[in-house]
Amino acid sequence: MAPKPITSPVPEVWYPTLAVVMLAVGLVLTAFFFIYEATSSRKTRSLAKELTTGAVASVFLGFGSLFLLLSSGVYV
Amino acid sequence: MKIHRQGMGLRLDLLVFMFVVSISFLCRTVLSDLVLSKVDRRADLRSQIVRVISTLKVENGGSNLVSEVLLAFPDKQVKYLAYLGATSNGGKGKAKDFTNSLPVQVAHPKDMPSSLTFYSVTLPKGLAKGESFTLDVLAAYTHALQPFPEKISQAEIQLLVFQDSSYFLSPYAVKFQSLSVKLPDARIESYTKLDNTKIHGSEIKYGPYENLPPFSYSPIVVHFENKQPFAVARELVRELEISHWGNVQVTEHYNLNHGGAQLKGEFSRLDYQSRPHVRGASAFRHLVAKLPPRTRSVYYRDEIGNISTSHLWGDSKKTELEIEPRYPLFGGWRTAFTIGYGLPLHDFLFESQGKRFLNFTFGSPINDLVIDTLIVKVVLPEGSADISVSTPFPVKQSQETKISHLDIAGRPVVVLQKTNVVPEHNQYFQVYYKFNSFAMLREPLMLISGFLFLFLTGIVYIHADMSISKSSPSYLAKLQWDEVRAAVQQVQNIISRCITLHDKLEASLHDLARTGDIQACKAARKAADGSLKELTKELKPLLASLQSSQQAAQILPKVEDLIVKEKDLQERLLAKHSTVVDCYEKKIGGKEIENRVALHQQKISVLWQEVDDLLDFIDEI
């Protein structure tokens, strides 16, 4: 069996686009999270909603910052 | 000529010794029945590395099958020997490829003088009686060219001394042999003149000599001019860092030295600038590194920072980097710098039989560089296991770990060390390892957990009750105010749901006017009625709690007002709805309907406005 070259799981030309899109979505969700935290009162707040917003935002921010690092040449 | 004689005298001891050795050996039985029927040696002295290519025609004179040929080197030369390769001769004119070569090993044959080191070349197949085989042997020596004089001033030209034997030193008898020494295009100070010595331009020819016994030795010395700077890396550390996200990062730390004749006296920058080719001929101005194609983000820096004197150009086959040191380098001067570049992963990393392997060149990409100590570090991704290395020549191996970006346990590093490296060592080596693709998710998961931790801290902070005194009036007031706020929010919520229902009712009226479907309109009304009733029910306890709270005293009138206005609005709307539906059932014309509804409509718009204003007002609180 001939050796097969190994490539990155995501094409490298997508890194900047992915970084911008995922960071934008992540930051919007973060903003929503903090606005919700600040405006809702103790009674009306729902923990499930807070946790889901936080989790989804951190997934987007995490991948977004990874692609930002990769596109700026810091190959982790 | 004095210099010449000195060299001769130096060599004379060895000559005498070798002569004794050869005599003693002539009396004994010869090692094997091999005879070298023709030896053609070409020594290339044009660069700092001495390359001697010998073409040997080996003939088996005995009756035993022979599969090994011994090569002898005096210890003085072995000290300088950096590379020894042998390959079968493919005929004249063919490019010599020493990478695909015959195996060469150190040998320790019995009854041989201890001042010689032997290497044995294994032939592709055994030689039977009378058969012959032609092979090429390449020997590369470093530091073999001695500058003489050892120190020169800035304006002087570097002179070098080369010593060798005009006869091929061999444990076998040699029938026919010749040696040619290729020198750079410059003046030749002196050379040993033996019989059969000819000079053609910059090439000196010794021989041919015929029928010489084993271990024949006849020293020669060549003293010649060479303006070439000698780039010697005392230490080079190459670090290859693999990232499965698509990059092989190469960082090379050079510790460079000019290995030629040392500079004597002071250095004059003015002389150097005005006539660089006369005053500073052997200083080096630039180095050229041949990098692989598709190289990206190349940098060249040292401890101070970026060095701007570099040029880069490339095509589909290679990338060339030309770098200039911060200052011209004269003999004995040193400099240290770092170059780094990224390479696309798919050119160097492959997968085969469940294992991944890196296929990379061992030596430095810089042309004609001698490296005293080369350390190659291969940094594998975190989570690599089952690491093994395959190199075309023996190297010292060890392992360590390195903590890099987003690492917990550190990355496994394979360290390969070799001394005396020449460009001939620029051969591919492989590092095999096992790696699970899911381990790539380690880095994003770390980033995600970092952000998640931030959010969780936020949630905990908001939820935690930080007040020290749980019974102080201000704390209680705050709690009450929170409750009021929650209740008001719920009221707002309910009102806005009512308004949505109102909009639905209006929409159903529009539909009725368009389609005339009375049943659908009635159904919509019924649904809205039910919902509105429930919402009204929900409002009651909220209002009661607000009325009981002191804190709500300010806002209460507004809320009550809002509820009343909304109720009014709701009644008006329902009345309007009933009227319109009624009219449709009785098939009364559009004009009449408008007249009947007009009063309601007027009130509704006024109320609508008032409800909106109140909602805005409460929102601001």
Residue B351 has its nearest CB partner, among A6, A59, A69, at A6
Q: Which pLDDT does position B141 carry in this prediction?
A: 94
Please give the residue that has the higher pLDDT: either B541 or B251. Answer: B251
Structural contact between residues B45 and B182, judged by C-beta atoms closer than 8 angstroms: yes
Q: Do B483 and A43 touch (CB under 8 A)?
A: yes
Which residue type occupies B237? V
**What is the C-alpha to C-alpha distance for residues B68 and B153, in angstroms, rounded to an integer?**
50
Contact B388, B352 (CB under 8 A): no
Topology agreement, domain B34-90+101-225 and domain B231-435: yes
Q: Which of A1, A6, A36, A63 should we substitute to test contact with B (largest number of B Cβ atoms within 10 Å)?
A: A6
Q: What is the DSSP letter of B212?
A: E
Which ipTM value was assigned to this complex? Answer: 0.96
Bridge pairing between strands B151-152 and B262-263 = parallel
Q: What is the pLDDT of residue B524?
A: 84
Predicted pLDDT of residue B235: 96
Residue contact B489–A44, C-beta within 8 A: yes
| Topology at the third CATH level for domain B231-435 | Immunoglobulin-like (2.60.40)
Q: Is the pLDDT of residue B25 over 60?
A: no
For residue B490, the chain A residue with the least C-alpha distance is A44
Parallel, antiparallel or unpaired: strands B132-141 and B104-107:
unpaired
Check A57 against B451: CB less than 8 A apart: yes
Position A29 scores a pLDDT of 96
- Segment B272-330, tens digit of pLDDT: 888 877 777 778 888 999 999 999 999 999 999 999 999 999 999 999 999 999 998 99
What span, in angstroms and rounded, lies between the C-alpha atoms of B352 and B432?
Answer: 10
pLDDT at B428 over 90: yes
The verdict on a CB contact (< 8 Å) between B455 and A57 is yes
Q: Show the low-confidence residues of chain A (pLDDT under 50).
A: none
Name the pLDDT band for B575 (thresholds 50, 70, 90).
confident
Buried b (16+ CB within 10 A) or exposed e, B161-173: bbbbbbbbbbbbb
Which residue did the predictor score with more confidence, B280 or B25?
B280
Specify which of A17-26, B405-414, B454-463 reaches the highest per-range mean pLDDT: A17-26
Higher pLDDT, B157 or B377: B377
Q: Is A8 left (phi over 0), alpha (psi -120 to 50) or beta?
A: beta
Burial label for B100, CB within 10 Å (0-12, 13-18, 19+), is exposed
Among B9-13, B178-182, B520-524, the range scoring the smallest mean pLDDT is B9-13
pLDDT in tens, B133-156: 899 999 999 999 999 899 999 888
Per the prediction, chain B carries an average pLDDT of: 86
Specify which residues B335 forms β-bridges with.
B256
- Return the residue of A nearest to B247 by Cα: A75
Task: Name the percent of chain B lying above pLDDT 70.
Answer: 93
> Which residues in chain B have Cβ-Cβ distances shorter than 8 Å to A6?
244, 345-346, 349-351, 356
Asked if the bond preceding B147 is cis, omega within 30° of 0, the reply is: no
Per domain, the residue ranges of chain B are 34-90+101-225, 231-435, 473-620
pLDDT for the residue numbered B100: 65
Mutate to test the interface with B, among A33, A56, A63, A76 (most CBs of B within 10 A): A76
Which amino acid is present at A60? F
Mutate: best of B451, B453, B476, B545, partner A, most A CBs <10 A:
B451
* C-alpha span between B537 and B535 (Å, rounded): 5
Q: Is the pLDDT of residue B3 over 70?
A: no
Determine the topology of domain B34-90+101-225 in CATH: Immunoglobulin-like (2.60.40)
The whole-angstrom separation of Cα B80 and Cα B98 is 19
Q: Sort B312 into a burial class: Cβ within 10 Å, 0-12 / 13-18 / 19+.
A: middle
As given in the structure block, the two tokens for residue B530 are 């039910």
CB contact under 8 A, A54 and B452: yes
Q: Hey, what are A8's tokens?
A: 């990155």
What is the average per-residue pLDDT within B175-187? 91
Mean pLDDT of the B575-597 span: 80
pLDDT of residue B31: 57
CB contact (8 A) between residue A70 and residue B245:
yes
User: Which residues of A are less than 8 Å from B349 in CB distance?
Assistant: 5-6
Interval B370-379 mean pLDDT: 96
Is residue B16 over pLDDT 70?
Answer: no
Quote the CA–CA distance of B345 and B468 in Å, as a whole number. Answer: 58
Contacts of B443 in chain A (CB under 8 A): 66, 76
B226-243: pLDDT as tens digits: 888 899 999 999 999 999
Domain ranges of chain A: 13-72
User: Residue holding tokens 């957990």?
Assistant: B449
Inter-residue contact B377 to B413 (CB < 8 Å): yes
Q: What's residue B282's pLDDT?
A: 79
Distance CA B449, CA B446 (A): 5
pLDDT at B32: 64
Which residues make beta-bridge pairs with B152? B263
Give yes or no for a contact between B190 and B1, defined as CB atoms under 8 angstroms apart. yes
In chain A, residues 16-75 whose CB comes closer than 8 Å to chain B: 26, 30, 33-34, 37, 41-45, 47, 50-51, 53-55, 57-59, 61-63, 65-66, 69-70, 73-75
Other C-beta atoms lying within 10 Å of the C-beta of residue B203: 12
Task: From residue B198, give the alpha-carbon distance in Å to each of B38, B184, B313, B544.
Answer: 19, 17, 44, 122
Give the closest of A44, A54, A70 to B455, CB-based: A54
Reduced to 3 states (helix: H, G, I; strand: E, B; else coil), residue B318 is coil
pLDDT score recorded for residue B2: 41
* pLDDT(B7) > 70: no
